[in-house]
Amino acid sequence: MRRIIERIWLPGDMIPNEIDLAKEFGCARATVNRAMRALADEGLLERRRKAGTRVALNPIRKATLEIPITRLEVEQRGGTWRHSVLERSEVVPPVSVASRLGLSDKIEMLHVRSLHYADNHPFLYEDRWVNLSEVAAICDVDLQEIDANEWLVQNTPLTKGDISFSAANATKQEAELLQTSEGEAIFVIDRTTWNGDVPVTIVRLAYAPGYRMHTEI
């Protein structure tokens, strides 16, 4: 890693083979192999069967993002978290939601809208749909006691997720809930989570103005 980030090995360069590296560093070949795999996972090396291993042409490390539990996120920022369930209903979803999940728009889903607070200031407005045929047990859960996301993470298999981040102008309703003005820029996360090929939940998270998502590489 040091040789790559200090550009001693330049982007595109072939690097020595594992046997030579093991000799140089005085370690087992398996150790070199493990290190190579880690560097390839981070995006610093490109490994090709037969063609050998090169320094990536754009050796930038990937950033990792935690997908946070809102309660923990607020607490990590030093705030006191609470949340308030604004709506909980079993209704047929709009076509836009059903079609993104590949579900029928005739079958009822759980619709939960809630507002999360940090130190009594609105922090996040959450609009969530849950596939009841996959997670019927949520019907018996008091979502004011434990928020839907935290309950789902702890009680349902979630094998994959699609996440997108974008900016949006606050609608009138969002502005009222987040105590800001209509049109104010807000940070939005749209996330769909699956168990295998079965959709579990789709959520839109609209953060109060000023929110920044931070990561390091």
Q: Does residue number 140 form part of the binding site for a second copy (CB under 8 A)?
A: no
Residue 27 has a CB neighbour count (10 Å cut-off) of 13
Candidates 76-84, 108-116, 123-131, 148-156: pick the segment binding a second copy (CB under 8 A): 148-156
Dihedral, CA of residue 58, residue 61, residue 62 and residue 68, to nearest 10: -160
Q: Which stretch binds a second copy (CB under 8 A): 67-75, 92-100, 128-136, 137-145?
A: 67-75
The nearer residue to a second copy, 51 or 167, going by C-beta atoms, is: 167
CB–CB of 40/47 below 8 Å?
yes
- If one asks whether residue 58 binds a second copy (CB under 8 A), the answer comes out as yes
Number of residues that bind a second copy (CB under 8 A): 53
Q: Which of 132, 131, 114 is nearest to 123 (CA)?
A: 114
The dihedral formed by the CA atoms of 179, 184, 185 and 190, expressed in degrees to the nearest 10 = 50
Is residue 11 a contact residue for a second copy (CB under 8 A)?
yes
Transcribe 192-206 into DSSP letters: EEEETTEEEEEEEEE
Figure out which of the listed residues 19, 86, 139, 153 binds a second copy, where binding follows CB under 8 A: 153
* Cα dihedral: 188, 190, 191, 192 (round 10): 170
Q: Under a CB-based contact definition with an 8 Å cutoff, are residues 160 and 124 in contact?
A: no
Taking residue 117's Cβ as centre, other Cβ atoms within 10 Å add up to 18
Q: Is 145 one of the binding residues for a second copy (CB under 8 A)?
A: no
Token pair of 121 as six digits: 């200031």
Of positions 57, 95, 96, 106, contacts a second copy by CB under 8 A: 57
User: Which of 188, 200, 203, 205 contacts a second copy by CB under 8 A?
Assistant: 188
Tokens of 14: 């072939």
Min. distance of Cβ 47 from a second copy in angstroms?
17
Site string for a second copy, 68-97 (x = CB under 8 A): -x--x-------------------------
Task: Tell me how many degrees the CA angle 58-31-2 measures, rounded to the nearest 5.
Answer: 40
Q: Is 198 in the site for a second copy (CB under 8 A)?
A: no
Query: Which pair of tokens denotes residue 183?
Result: 């049109």
**Among the candidate windows 1-9, 77-85, 115-123, 134-142, which touches a second copy by CB under 8 A?**
1-9
Question: Is residue 211 part of the contact set for a second copy (CB under 8 A)?
Answer: yes
Q: Write out the residues near a second copy by the rule CB under 8 A.
A: 5-7, 10-11, 30, 34, 43, 57-67, 69, 72, 150, 153-169, 183-188, 209, 211-217
